[in-house]
Every structure is written in C-alpha cells, then in structure tokens.
Amino acid sequence: MNYFLQGFSLIQTKGLKRFVFIPLTVNLILFAVALYALFGQIDGAIIWLVGLIPDWLGWLKTALSYIIWPLAVVSVLLVFALIFGTLANWIAAPFNGLLAEKVEKHLTGQDLGDTGVLDVVKDIPRTLGRELSKLTYYLPRAIGFLLLFFILPVIGQVLWFLFSAWMMAIQYCDYPFDNHKISFKDMRRTLNQSRGNCFSFGFGVSIFSMIPIVNFLVMPVAICGATAMWVDNLKPKLQGGI
C-alpha cells in the first residue's frame, strides 16, 4: 500500500509532471463520461426492478428502494473501477510506459535509452500487443468472477474485489517490466513471488478508484507507485536477489 501512496508524491515531482498530464487527461475524460452514463441508468433499473413487485406489497417496494440503491452504487463502482480502468489504460498505454520510464530514471538515475515522443510512437505496436496479452489473461477470469459476483451474495463481491486488486497490480506493474522487454509470463511469475505486496498495492488502487474525484488521479499515481515497487522490490526478485 505504501508504494501506491508514494505515487501521490511522485506525480508532484519536478520533471515528471508533464509526463503525468496525458494519462491524467485520458482518465479524467473517460471516468467522467462513464460515471455520468452509468449512474444515469441506475434510477431506471431500480424503478424497473421494484415495479416487478405486486402493488399489495407496497411496504416491500419502499424497503427495497432504500436497500437496492446503495448496493447498486457499490456494485457499479466495483465493476466500473476495473473495466473502465482497463479501457483507459488501453488508450494511454504508450504514454503510461513513458511515465514509468521517467519515474524509474528519477528513482535510479539510470536512463533506459528511449528519448521521447518518437520512441513512444515506435513502441505503440509492442505496447498495444502487451495490453492484448493482459486482456486475454483478464477476460476469461473476469467472466467467471463476475458470475460469482451476481450469484453469491457477499462472497461473490469479496472475490471480485480480490480479483480486481490482483488485476490492478498486474496492470500497473507491467509497465516497468515491459520497458525492460520482460515477457508477460515472467512478469506474472515475479508478481507471484511478491503476492502480499502486490495484493496490498492492488487494494489501494481499487479503493481509490472508487472515490469520486480522487479516482481521476489513480492511473498516474498507480504507475508511479508500481514503478517504485519495481525498483525496490520486484526487480531484485527478478534478478535473483530474493
């Protein structure tokens, strides 16, 4: 969790702020539009659901109206945090990798060799291919956990949250791994060796993704925090320094 929180300090670092701008802008636009669209549908869905109850059970209709609303909001936020976060990362992927590179250079003083926008453009096919690898890993698991989310009360929601936390760790930790041309399979194996740190980091990302306004900052903050965790914890494990 501390690595994620460290990201809030890193995005304010002189020399890194300009690399935060594009991921932040993409996140801001997508989250604002998606939240507006989703919450605009909740009222209609609740009215439809309550309308299925016979009129003679008026007391039940009233009770459900009060109970379903908070449950619907929490459910939308949980699903939204991962699904739309994934979409935002697809769009901003090349610039997310650049931000991770600059954060690593800031933390270690070592240049990875890429020089700027031309390198970002050159790496677009590779970074989008990497996002595709993450998507193919995510989709079948997401379908299974999403079914459990709706079928198993409480337990399903807890499992979805745990899955979301793990996927958040994979999503954001992958940028520094990809910058070093480390395969997706090797990246996952390294994260498994530091599962406690990764889940804790993912919990932080998932929780802050559910907080209005703050969630606009989550993408650049998580990239910075994940890169700090790569430098301190994950890179030594990959190199055999366990």
Q: How many CB atoms lie within 10 A of CB 97?
A: 24
Instruction: Give one DSSP letter per residue of 52-103, joined into a string.
Output: TS-GGGHHHHHHHHHHHHHHHHHHHHHHHHHHHHHHHHHHHHHHHHHHHHHH
Is the CB of residue 178 less than 8 Å from the CB of residue 132?
Answer: no
Residue whose pair of structure tokens reads 């459900």 in the numeric block: 64
At 160-210, the pLDDT tens digits run 889 989 999 999 999 999 988 899 999 999 999 899 999 999 999 988 887
Asked if residue 223 has pLDDT above 50, the reply is yes
Round to whole Å and give the CA distance between 12 and 22: 15
What is the total residue count of the chain? 242
| Closest to 1 measured CA to CA, from 221, 210, 177, 180 | 221
Round to whole Å and give the CA distance between 150 and 156: 7
Q: Which carries the bigger pLDDT value, residue 93 or residue 182?
A: 182
Asked if residue 118 has pLDDT above 80, the reply is no
Mean pLDDT of the chain: 80
- Cα dist from 222 to 69, 141, 142, 200, whole Å: 30, 22, 21, 12
- Tell me the average pLDDT across 204-233: 87
pLDDT of residue 242: 46
pLDDT of residue 205: 92
Round to whole Å and give the CA distance between 179 and 151: 40
- Tell me the average pLDDT across 231-239: 84
